Chains A and B, each alone.
Chain A
């Protein structure tokens, strides 16, 4: 039973990594560059929710704050693309990557200015509550995280498979040139992908903050999520989730069976192993470029 609880809490962590990873992969697939501010966008989403709902700030009802945070982060993602990323069109990928790293720094700084650098807890309805399944006692926050991730995965699947915008996003990510001549407004689609990544980051942020305190450097978690997404296969949305779950599970298991300090190294050790043995990740969409 103890082990099972350990696994569940690992899965819950993994879901958060997976959701941040989804944001990474979404933007990578659409624009072929990596948004290293994804973790900081998660942190911002969490802080916006905290700022809206905590009694010491605005004090709105929790759910209203969550919805507002998702909308605000969606708009922010959209604007980031339009204002900063689009003018970089045609520049090398590394330039865009460095720009996103800079955006991450700015996000951390701004969050520190507004909410301070001390860790704070998000006031939420799940904290400290337990749910019993038979003899198993699980934290409500963990159940909510896993449930939300499952629902979100299903929703995203339907979105990409059946909606006009979702299909356009898929098309634009597979072949921009062809997408243009099918009548797909590729540039606007890129902005919308950033909006989606922003909204996802907000959800991941709320889920993460429901488990513990956050501070402006929380976004550095994004690096672990990035590693997880590579483990899963960095061109694949299911891969990002899988990689997140793998990392989430391996952390508590290694600290239990190996040594406590090892859990911090394990995700990166795993990353090295995967890169050596299966360079395209566990679920890879290998695409050999024609020369």
Chain B
């Protein structure tokens, strides 16, 4: 059974078909990348998996069960975490606080036990802090632990968002353009982290990314999209050499002649 499976998923916005009959499966333990030109439907697919949009037709299965009856806030509890292309952090909070919110679904305390601060709540707080500290160590965020998000540079915010998603301890991590806006060095760090997230943490990764170097370096399989349709699926080199993909990116000879 695949960890995540999209079956003939179609999404229309009014008359525009943003995603057209797309099917693919992400296997447990792999890094799967979605690539394609702008407007190909990559982010739309992300937003359907994270239950922000509901498909017009088709089904999305996580661990063999449809998630289309789940509400947006129930996704984290299933074990799906995500980051955003335009970084969505809690601006008026510290790095540590942001990551601790990631533990929300794991909190088992209630209002009464919290008011009494029972030993159970105390133990739980320690466990959450430890989980967050593991993510902080993993991403080398120690110098920023107590810093307010609002004052942090872009690159750090990007990493904090990834850390917060890891604090959820998900089974599937959705990364929406993890390298966009990052320097070459920062992108290399992201590549190492994605490798380790897969190998050490055993988390399956589905990502949308434009940087083909990063995609080739870390992905086990790649799915290329254009105009909401699947062009090719396979290893990074297979997809990059696929004639349909080359045409979508560079245009066909006919077009060049016409121009």
Contacts and interface: CB of A to CB of B under 8 A. Distances in A.
B75 interface: yes
Instruction: Name which of B75, B91, B109 has the most chain A CB atoms within 10 A of its CB.
Output: B91
A274 interface: no
A224 B73 CA distance: 38
Instruction: Name which of A165, A167, A171, A180 has the most chain B CB atoms within 10 A of its CB.
Output: A180
Interface in A231-275: none
Interface stretch (A14-22, A100-108, A183-191, A201-209): A183-191
Instruction: Name which of B76, B81, B88, B109 has the most chain A CB atoms within 10 A of its CB.
Output: B88
Instruction: Name which of B75, B81, B101, B164 has the most chain A CB atoms within 10 A of its CB.
Output: B101
Contacts of B76: 181-183
A38 B164 CA distance: 36
A158 B174 CA distance: 34
B54 interface: no
Contact of B92 (A165, A174, A178, A183): A174
B168 A163 contact: no
Contact of B89 (A165, A178, A287): A178
Contacts of A183: 73-77, 104-105, 168
Given A163-B111, A164-B114, A167-B101, A182 B168 contact: yes
Contact of B73 (A162, A163, A185): A185
9 contacts: A168-B104, A175-B91, A181-B72, A181-B75, A181-B82, A183-B77, A184-B101, A184-B104, A186-B73
Interface of B: 50, 71-77, 81-82, 84, 88-93, 101-102, 104-105, 107, 109-111, 114-115, 150, 164, 168
The 9 closest A-B pairs by CB, nearest first: A183-B76, A183-B105, A178-B88, A174-B90, A180-B72, A185-B73, A163-B114, A182-B104, A177-B88
Interface of A: 162-165, 167-168, 170-171, 174-175, 177-186, 285, 287
Given A164-B114, A181-B76, 13 more contacts: A163-B111, A164-B104, A164-B109, A164-B110, A174-B92, A174-B93, A175-B91, A177-B88, A178-B88, A180-B72, A181-B73, A181-B88, A182-B101
